[in-house]
Structure 1
Amino acid sequence: MTVPPPPWRRAPSPRKRAEKPLLSPELVVRTALDILAAEGIRAVSMRRVAQQLETGPASLYAYVSNKEELDELMLDAVLGEIPCPEPDPEHWDEQVKEQVRRQVRAMMTYPGIAKVAWNTPIPVTPNALRQGEAMLAFLRAGGLDRKQAAFAGDALSMYAKAFAYEASGWTFGEYDPAHMAERERRMADYVQSLPAGAFPNLARIGQFFNAGTSADRMEFALETFVAGLRAVVRA
């Protein structure tokens, strides 16, 4: 027998569905970055972001005008996670190298964002400007003039993007591991089959190009470049 509740006890109200968060440019960008971090840049689209936010793609256009703008805003958000310390003239060279490392780490955290950086040759979003200004400040603190600092900053930015682009290409199917392993084997066999002495150096450097030497290669490039900048300052 079912016993009814006392008349003074309020009957439970139907459970309400949790309200969706209010849309905003920040929420749209954050959602896009979450998709990118989990699935890669190819998965990010206005439709996919709208689906994740349980809304229609048309509603996003009130906050982001198109996919190109969304890409730039994602890149700016990633750059915003990178600190910009005050320049230290006594340690400017280490600051330069560490800033490049930070940029590479940030771009590799979000595989594919380096591709966005390549497709945005002159970013002028707030955090992109802060990064550019910080690097120029480090280089100027080291004694480079404005032209030298501008050229050096441009080269370092391109290297950071290129390194992160290649490194993150191994994630989310940009490069198929099985295909690349087979290609590397065939290339090694081909080089070894060439006439003895034809390419004596190329035939012996394959051991230095693998995932285990990635960090060493980046550090070598950074140290060599910054050593050159030190020489410029001394001159």
Structure 2
Amino acid sequence: MNPRERRAARHRPPDPEIAPGRESRRRKIPITVERVVDTALDLVAADGYEALTMRRLATALGTGPASLYAHVVNKADLDELLIGRLCSVLVLPEPDPGAWREQIRGVCAQIRDQYLKYPGISRAALAMAPTDLETVRVNEGMLAILLAGGVAPQAAAWAIDALLLYVAAYCLEASIARQRSAHDDDVWVLDREELLRRFAALPPAVFPHVTRHAVELTAGEGHDRFDFTLGLMIDGLAQR
């Protein structure tokens, strides 16, 4: 089976007629898709998504790029596998029409927390068509929640896209900020007091609103801004 055929097979539900013996024999193969994903996630957790290359991954697996390409088609295929793995641990609630807002917010928070465990990995989710079975499972679950809440199918479909895009962007920005703050001359990026000092030094005549509302502009702890933006998006759906 060539790599593209392997990829296509991963997008199909498992065949219940596959004998357990065959499955266990496959797992004895030194390099498997599961091991590739495990190793890639370890590299991302240690050094960030930008440090993940096919060549470095092959080295970490103790093989060459040619052997690696026998299991994944290319970097885009690897990205899909990584996001699929993160989606596989998400817990999707039984849709409740009376609690759909809290449920959709909870799913988004789970995705956020998974992305933040692996710096920059949300970049892999951008511009990705959800065809992996696990990513489709999450889309199915989110769609079920929104439909149960009375959201029209078209609005629900676009809302899921917007919510996932925001979560990915939020996590990517957080990863970039942490990376920059690792350099001594960029620590101010995450320093609210420094931002307040810089805003206070601006001429009020030129920047009347920024200087007057500097506290509000720099407010927020933890995921306050994330929760606020999700609330705006979800409340907008409810109003529709």
* Shorter-normalised TM range: 0.7 to 0.9
Matched AA of 2:142:
M
- Quick check: which has more Rg, 1 or 2? 1
Q: TM-score, structure 1 length as denominator? A: 0.78
- The CA deviation string for residues 171-209 of structure 1, in whole angstroms up to 9 with x for no partner, is 4x3555533345678875664344324333322444456
Q: TM-score, structure 2 length as denominator? A: 0.77
Matched position secondary structure for 1:163: helix
Matched, 1:180 2:213: no
Are the counterparts in 2 of residues 170 and 177 from structure 1 also a CA contact under 8 Å?
Answer: no
Matched, 1:92 2:100: yes
Matched AA of 2:44:
L
Matched, 1:115 2:123: yes
Structure 1 regions of 5+ residues with no counterpart? Answer: 1-19
- The CA deviation string for residues 49-106 of structure 1, in whole angstroms up to 9 with x for no partner, is 2222222222111111222211221121112121222211121110011111111111
User: What is the match of residue 68 of structure 2?
Assistant: 60
Change beyond 3 A, Cα 1:198–1:209: closer
User: What is the match of residue 210 of structure 2?
Assistant: 202
Are the counterparts in 1 of residues 115 and 171 from structure 2 also a CA contact under 8 Å?
Answer: yes
Matched AA of 1:37:
A
Matched, 1:50 2:28: no
Matched AA of 1:111:
P
Are the counterparts in 1 of residues 40 and 57 from structure 2 also a CA contact under 8 Å?
Answer: yes
Structure 2 regions of 5+ residues with no counterpart? Answer: 1-27
Please provide the CA RMSD for this pair: 2.6
Give the Cα–Cα distance (whole angstroms) in 2 for the partners of residues 210 and 26 of structure 1: 42
Give the Cα–Cα distance (whole angstroms) in 2 for the partners of residues 217 and 86 of structure 1: 27
2:224 to 209, 216, 224: 216
Number of residue pairs aligned between Structure 1 and Structure 2? 211
